Structure 1
Amino acid sequence: MIQQIYPSVMHPFRYELNKDMHFAAAHYVPSESAGACSNVHGHTYFLNVTVAGNELDETGFLVNFSQIKKLIHDRFDHTMLNDHSSLFSDEDPSRFPTTENVARIVCELIQAYLDRSANKAKCVQIFLRETPTSYVVYRPYAGGNYGE
């Protein structure tokens, strides 16, 4: 992975973990107004996940890096995103597999996993690069409401 500097997210937590990964996936945006993106095409997505929290788990981790990779890379790598019908939809624009929605759904998947952990860490930022010149940053707690 090429070294990348990511935008920082402000948060009130003591620990911050960042996990980089990439996955190759195809998709299409099911809307005529998406132009060429309405055709099936693929990307090598580069992803940075930021998790933060105040407490470590019983192994001394905020979260195990390998668990984040299993949740995302193992699910999406070499797949057609539109085929993940429990996550994406051809009818609901909030569930079209745009980079914005993929970033949000990745965050939701990670947060659902973290919510089952004893230390209750938070996924505070997703950085998802679709192409060398285009990326999305998703911050689920914009405005500072961390639900604690």
Structure 2
Amino acid sequence: MLQQIYPPAVHPYQYELNKDLQFAAAHYVPAEEAGKCRRMHGHTYFANVTIAGDELDRTGFLVNFATVKQLVHDRFDHTLLNDDAESFNEEDPNRFPTTEVVARTICEIVQAHLDRTENKPRCVQVFLRETPTSYCIYRPKRPTGA
């Protein structure tokens, strides 16, 4: 795994968990302006998912590291992202499988799981490296009242 120092996510929570993972996936960006990225190509993505909260679950975890890996790696590794119609859409630019949208989608997938847990931690940041020189950070806005 690429050793990386990630920009910190500012949040008010007592606990912060970070999970590094990687997955290999292909994609293409269905827009004329995408240039070479219009053609199918692949990346080894490096992701860091930051989860924060004030309450631990009954096992003493904010969330199990293995669960985060399962949610992301098992879903996207060795896939064509464009084929994931639940996450991506070739008609809506806000759902094209760009690095920005993939980072947001990872956050949404993780948060959907966290919302079903008893301790309700928050996914506060997803850092997604697409190439050695290109990455994106997605930080969701805080929910109202948080």
Q: Please give the TM-score of this superposition, normalised by the length of structure 2.
A: 0.97
Partner of 1:140: 140
Give SS of 2:137's match.
strand
Q: How does 1:60-139 map to 2 (within 5 A)?
A: 60-139=60-139
Give SS of 1:60's match.
coil
Q: How does 1:23-42 map to 2 (within 5 A)?
A: 23-42=23-42
CA distance in 1, matches of 2:42, 2:144: 34
In the TM superposition, what is the alpha-carbon distance from 1:31 to its structure 2 partner?
0.4
CA distance in 2, matches of 1:4, 1:103: 17
Q: Alignment RMSD, CA only?
A: 1.0
Number of residue equivalences = 146
Q: 1:70 to 1:146 in 2, by over 3 A?
A: farther
CA distance in 1, matches of 2:60, 2:144: 22
Partner of 2:49: 49
Q: Please give the TM-score of this superposition, normalised by the length of structure 1.
A: 0.96
CA distance in 2, matches of 1:30, 1:92: 10
Give SS of 2:108's match.
helix
In the TM superposition, what is the alpha-carbon distance from 1:2 to its structure 2 partner?
2.3
Offset from partner CA, 1:82-109 (integer Å, 9 cap, x none): 0001110110000000000000000000
Q: 1:97 to 1:17 in 2, by over 3 A?
A: same
Offset from partner CA, 1:23-49 (integer Å, 9 cap, x none): 000000000100000000000000000
Q: Which amino acid aligns with 1:130?
A: E
Give SS of 1:37's match.
helix
Give SS of 1:127's match.
strand
Question: Which consecutive unaligned segments of at least 5 residues does structure 1 have?
Answer: none
